[in-house]
Amino acid sequence: MTAPHPSGSPWQPLRRAWAQRHVLRALLWRQWRDRYAGSALGLAWAVLQPLAQLAVYALVFQWVFQVRLPQAAPGQPYVVWLALTLWPWLALQDALVRGAGAVVQQAALVQKVAFSSAWLVVAAVGAAFALHAVGHAVVLAVLWALGARFSGWGLLWQWPLVWLALLLVALGAAFWLAAAQVYVRDIEPLLPQVLPLLMYASPVLYPLALVPAALQPVVAANPLTGLLEPLRAAALGLGPGWSASQAALALALCAGWAALGWWGFDRLSADFEDAL
């Protein structure tokens, strides 16, 4: 059975979840163990699969369409420019898909064990981000070793902040999606159709500067624009990226969104057992 629904203090769900934090360690280990179970290459797929996707995009945009980026330094390959934002996007996409199905896929566990089902979502999102962050770090290191020109300090201090902000964004969204999936089973299969549209509406494959002036305010209003563009600017020396105050504000807003998602999930979780 699920844990009893909290009442009283709004902090009680967090206190209860913190008391069960050992559950998160077990669930994370289960996610990492099962993700590539039976695969000959195992965790190497965390790097190989995005690398294959990066190669396809590079072939299409750099060599076929011969895209010229207005912000890129002379001689800066498109593949280097793209690698900075493709991995964070893939982490977000993977986390949303896995987080949305986290509760339904573990229905037997939710019905039999008394624990906060929010940890299922946290584990799914956290495992996805951990794997893709490691893959991103490896790829950037390889590109640097092959001669890619990065602004070292800008990349080093903004890279972890952007990944943390995206993790919080993914958590907030995954909480709502996972709760909705319990009651409306169309959510998880619909996500692979919707997320590619969100990618093309975000500056992942292109810079904001290439967007027609009439559409720039729309793309700029996308929260992902405010996370991905500063990372690219700081890493390639195209601009200052985030200032300390901007980073603090961005993290505070993303943390607020994650907290709102947790709150909504907790409100809806009282009826999970019956719905499942």
pTM of structure: 0.84
Amino acid at 195: L
Measured between alpha carbons, how far is 260 from 262 in angstroms, rounded to an integer?
Answer: 5
Q: Write out pLDDT tens, residues 249-267.
A: 999 999 999 999 998 998 8
- The 3 state secondary structure assigned to 224-247 is CHHHHHHHHHHHHCCCCCCCHHHH
What does the DSSP 8-state code read for residue 207? -
Measured between alpha carbons, how far is 202 from 97 in angstroms, rounded to an integer?
Answer: 18
Short-list 32, 142, 126, 29, CA closest to 83: 142
How far is residue 123 from each of residues 4, 20, 21, 103, 271, measured CA to CA in Å? 21, 13, 11, 11, 21
Q: Write out pLDDT tens, residues 46-89.
A: 677 777 877 887 788 777 767 666 655 556 678 888 889 988 99
